[in-house]
Amino acid sequence: MTGLSPTIEAVDAAAYRFPTPQPEADGTLTWDATVAVTATIRAGGQCGLGWTYSSEVTANVITAHLAPCLEGRDAFDIAGGWTAMHRAGRNLGTRGLYMHALSAVDIAWWDLKARLLGKPLSDLLGRCRDAVPVYGSGGFTNLTDRQLADQVEAWSAAGCTAMKIKIGEGWGTSARRDLARTRRLRGLAGPGIDLMVDANGGYRRAQAQRVGHDLDELGVTWFEEPVSSDDVEALAAVRDEVRCDVAAGEYVYDQFDVNRLLPVVDCLQLDATRCGGYTGWLRGASSAQARNLKVSAHCAPALHVSVAAAVPNTRHIEWFVDHARLEPQLVADAPEVRAGEARVNRTAPGHGMTVNPAADARRVR
Ligand SMILES: [Mg+2]
């Protein structure tokens, strides 16, 4: 103990691999599994849990490079520990896998702190709403019409009023099919549903502008990563051309990335499992608020509910099919979606989730 605070005793990591039912694809990548890397932190008889979606080698980053920064540290000093972890990564590169690892640890640490205080995490972060809107997300480019219809039906049944599919198929080589699938989404979702599309950076500037005009005609309200998010100039050029909102931010790793994107998006996406955990998410949301912009939580819906409920400028949480399927397998007591919203945990200490013993069958590290 240092004063009244417990000290951190142990930091551990594990990795779990969840195969997808079939190979899945967006505009620029295909995959057949999702790997969740967990971080756990022990202090004062409590255990905090965080995770990220990454490569299993991220678990090694946690144990080899981050754990030594934490062990023996005051269990309430998240900000100091965050800075120590970030500084320790200077020669490794602080973005990418390193920040995935740091994010998982930061999330575990906030969970631990709330458990040590005996409070729900939403109380500790400062809750300004009891439920957060979610939007249905999936619509992979390789789905059959029937499979897309099934996804849309599930989102409708859960009360989602906004739905997102992937476009940009084959690095932008199938724009006609992208538009046809968007038209099909409108038919399946019905009127009154916000249509959203995500090109995952599959187009280049001029093509994204042309596709954007067509999306406007289809009533699409959200055009995500029309071009690579590294091409900030092109993002700005597309945004100048279209009526729909241009969104990006899933590869934001720090405040400098936030600063680069804020001038060129209509809504900033932030992923707590990549942008530095809840600490990074709160900082990013605050920067967005300073420009009068909203933020949207990217993926990992179970982990975002408490933090998304803590900032007034949250727009929604992405209820991504892969993660919505996986999270109840990985953890017990993942939040459920009803009437288009995920309800905030108001009773259990921390975020309220613990690793599901059955997940052991999926453990790869
Ligand atoms: Mg995306």
Q: Where are the domains of the chain?
A: 10-118, 123-355
CA distance 25 to 20: 11
* Distance from the alpha carbon of residue 224 to the mean position of ligand 1, in angstroms: 6
Instruction: Return the pLDDT at 5.
Output: 86
Give me ligand 1 centre to Cα 76, in Å: 33
Distance 163 CA to ligand 1 centre (A): 13
Instruction: List beta partners, residue 40.
Output: 12, 49
Q: Which tokens go with 170? A: 């084959």
Report the candidate in 138, 210, 220, 213 with the shortest Cα–Cα distance to residue 182. 220
pLDDT (tens digit per residue) in 74-101: 999 999 999 999 999 999 999 999 999 9
Instruction: Answer whether CATH 3.30.390.10 is correct for domain 10-118.
Output: yes
Segment (H or E) for 82: helix 78-88
Exposed e or buried b for every residue in 228-243, given b needs 16+ CB within 10 A?
bbebbebbbbbbebbe
Question: Which amino acid belongs to residue 295?
Answer: V
Pairwise CA distance, residues 56 & 36, whole Å: 8
Question: Tell me: the pLDDT tens digits for 319-334?
Answer: 999 999 999 999 999 9
336 C-alpha vs ligand 1 centroid, how far in Å? 22
Tell me how far the alpha carbon of residue 144 lies from the centroid of ligand 1, in angstroms.
Answer: 20
pLDDT value at position 1?
44
pLDDT, residue 3, reads: 57
Ligand 1 centre distance from Cα of residue 151 (Å) = 17
Burial class (CB in 10 A: 0-12, 13-18, 19+), 145: exposed
Distance 225 CA to ligand 1 centre (A): 7
Q: Kindly give, in sequence order, each residue whose CB lies less than 8 Å from that of residue 183, ignoring residues fewer than 6 positions away.
A: 218
So what's the pLDDT on residue 284?
Answer: 98
Residues of the chain with pLDDT under 50: 1-2
Assess whether the region 10-118 and the region 123-355 belong to the same CATH fold. Answer: no
Name which of 200, 14, 187, 44 is nearest 113 in CA terms.
Answer: 44
Angle at 175 between CA 171 and CA 176, to 5 degrees: 150
Q: Can you read off the two tokens belonging to residue 117?
A: 């205080």
pTM as predicted? 0.97
Q: How far is CA 217 from CA 197, 210, 214, 243, 332, in A?
A: 14, 11, 5, 9, 43
- Angle, CA of 139, 144 and 148, to the nearest 5°: 35
Q: For domain 123-355, give the CATH superfamily.
A: Enolase-like C-terminal domain (3.20.20.120)
Check if the beta carbon of residue 90 is closer than 8 Å to that of residue 102. Answer: no
How far away, in angstroms, is 317 Cα from ligand 1 center?
12
pLDDT of residue 2: 46
CA of 164 to the centre of ligand 1 (A): 10
